[in-house]
Amino acid sequence: VVSIKMTSQWSPPADDFSIYYVLTECTDYYDTLPVKEADGNQPHFQGVTGLRNLGNTCYMNAIFWCLCSISPLVEYFLSGKYITTQQDGQEFLIYVLNELHEALEKVKILQESITTETSIITRLFEGQLSYCIVCLKCEKRTYKNEVFTLLSLPIPSEYECSLQDCLQCFFQQDTLTWNNQIHCSFCETKQETAVRASISKAPKIIVFHLKRFDSQSTMKRKLRTDIHYPLTNLDLTPYISPIFRKHPKYNFCAVVVSKKLLKVTQF
């Protein structure tokens, strides 16, 4: 069962905040967002049309309507035969962003655009982490960069914590020992290593995924921790490399909540 709720059009506040964050969240609570009741006077055309033109989307709607009238195709998707494993919200988000990015890149090639400008997806969502890796024997430092569009944050408490606690946990120094040792190019063997991540490029819109499934235990256990998050001014300054620091403060813009009803997970 999939339900899609369109909330009233969101527009950024008039002040100078130009960056927002998105939280992909997974809890057992009922979604309490107010939903606009359908206008009783409006006739319903269920099964005939149903997709509103959002400006320039009529061509997409028309194609969807056509596809929806091809019975074998509809039956296939309604039968659930295509489902192998249920996607998590954050996996689907990454998939959609990647597809949008690829599509925009193709348009650029088709238009023979010589501009080197990156896609809107990259410009909004892409950030970069810098890992500082220190060999605990020779103390030599190496750096490794990694691009991200989503940060998967651990949850450090069973009962209650804040989003900032999760961030602190993610960015704290990690010591890699035993099987996790890293090869040191100076010692030329595997050594115990200290690793610390920091943000070297803060994206305009940052997406967090909260790891509610405890990967430490052998049983897949869900953490039901209450996590508080600020609606304005989430300060990421402590986690940004000093040389790249621009004191970004993020305002909350969206949350994805999943809840389990019988055996179906609803978003």
Nearest CA to 212 out of 220, 203, 201 is that of 220
In the complex, what is the shortest distance from the CB of residue 187 to Zn ion, in angstroms, rounded to a whole number? Answer: 3
Rank residues 30 and 186 by Cβ distance to Zn ion and give the closer one. 186
Tell me which residues touch Zn ion (CB under 5 A).
135, 137-138, 184, 186-187, 191
Q: Which amino acid is at 110?
A: L
Q: What is the DSSP string of 182-245?
A: EEETTTTEEE-EEEEEEEEE--SEEEEEE--EESSSSS-EE---EEE--SS-EE-GGGB-GGG-
Tokens 């055996």 sit on residue = 263
Rank residues 186 and 244 by Cβ distance to Zn ion and give the closer one. 186
In the complex, what is the shortest distance from the CB of residue 152 to Zn ion, in angstroms, rounded to a whole number? Answer: 29
In the complex, what is the shortest distance from the CB of residue 242 to Zn ion, in angstroms, rounded to a whole number? Answer: 25
Rank residues 16 and 188 by Cβ distance to Zn ion and give the closer one. 188
Rank residues 137 and 224 by Cβ distance to Zn ion and give the closer one. 137
Rank residues 87 and 189 by Cβ distance to Zn ion and give the closer one. 189
In the complex, what is the shortest distance from the CB of residue 173 to Zn ion, in angstroms, rounded to a whole number? Answer: 17
In the complex, what is the shortest distance from the CB of residue 186 to Zn ion, in angstroms, rounded to a whole number? Answer: 5
What separation in angstroms does the CA of 129 have from each of 118, 161, 197?
19, 24, 6
Q: What is the DSSP string of 25-59?
A: ---SSPP----PPPPTTSPP-TTT------SS-HH
